[in-house]
Amino acid sequence: MKILVVEDDLSLAGQIMTAVEQAGWVAESALDGLEAVYQVTEQSFDAVILDLGLPRLDGLSVLRAMRDQGIHLPVIILSARDTLHDRIEGLNAGADDYLCKPFQMAELIARLRAQIRRGSGQTSPVITIGELALDTCTSAVYWQGQPLKLTALELKILSYMMHNSGRIISRSELIEHIYRQDFDRDSNTIEVFIRRIRQKVGHNMIETVRGLGYKLVQPA
């Protein structure tokens, strides 16, 4: 999962990005509103953490620009503005959640997990597909009821596929969602990770769709 952190306070942005990375996701940052609009139109993200008091373009304008362009990924607003009017205005502009500053990082991550689940059509904190289960609160994966040992990148790939089960996911999409933009990417490594995951969960769980990518399925 890749998260865009839009916050002009460098210290707070760094803390949020650290928390996002510790949760097992990829974090990218934007320090002003125009950069945020550019990034969400040029890259693929799974959620946005959006401050309202941004330079060059305020957060509500960023949010409205996203929705006007048909970008419907989950957005959590961060703001020191805590009046009822401000919260209503943010939600009416298209935000999925609103968190007032100061806040606890653990609460932000919990809200982010919930929004990512809802964005992929999941309501339970545990995603179960056949004999494979992912606890989204702890990032623990279970195969046939037993804990599964995965590397960090294997977990990112499998988690993304479980949030998007039944859908064909291309190699480029996987790369986009498991690596930072400035990371030296190699599409061949995806095949290596897929092979390793199949060795741990069974080959029938991940189908190869020739010329298109991979699909996580529930075996018959």
Report H helices in 104-218.
105-119, 152-163, 171-178, 188-201
Query: 138-163: per-residue pLDDT in tens?
Result: 999 999 999 999 999 999 999 999 99
Query: 188-212: per-residue pLDDT in tens?
Result: 789 999 999 999 998 899 999 999 9
Question: Which pLDDT does position 186 carry in this prediction?
Answer: 67
Mean pLDDT of all residues in 14-28? 96
Q: Residue 183: is its pLDDT beyond 70?
A: no
* pTM for this entry: 0.89
Angle between helices 84-92 and 59-68 (to 10 degrees): 20
